[in-house]
Amino acid sequence: MSPSSLRELATFWTGRLAHYNAHRNDEHLNALYEETLRYVGLHLENDLSRSDYWTRVPLHRRLGVLLYLVDQGVVEMSTRHGRHQFIALPQAEEWVAQHSALRPFAKATLELVTALRHHAARVARSRKA
């Protein structure tokens, strides 16, 4: 994704990620992009590979949807050990169902939320072991 495409993506953020629109230096936006891309491309790949929708769309679309959910406060982004983690909040499914604009994409969005939950469960199990 080009720097101008990243900047354009950021213009849609009006919530928790809106502060990226004020950054004059694209380093922060690029770092967010790289960490999120790594997350959706590595950590969620197996779960999303079962989806008819997510197997057909480019990786940057996964990234865009995930960051939109973060911006809207449906997914929490935290940093552990220098890496971003994305946690679907308990009300995520309800939030998706309530937003009529997401209706055409509700199934795919819920698949992404489910993948986030599966990844979080795997991480929790591996920490206990």
Q: How many domains does the chain have?
A: 1
Amino acid at 77: M
pLDDT for residue 2 = 63
Range of the domain at 94: 3-128
Residues 65, 70, 93, 88: is their CA dihedral positive or negative?
Answer: positive
| pLDDT tens digits for range 7-53 | 888 888 999 999 988 877 788 888 899 999 999 999 999 999 999 99
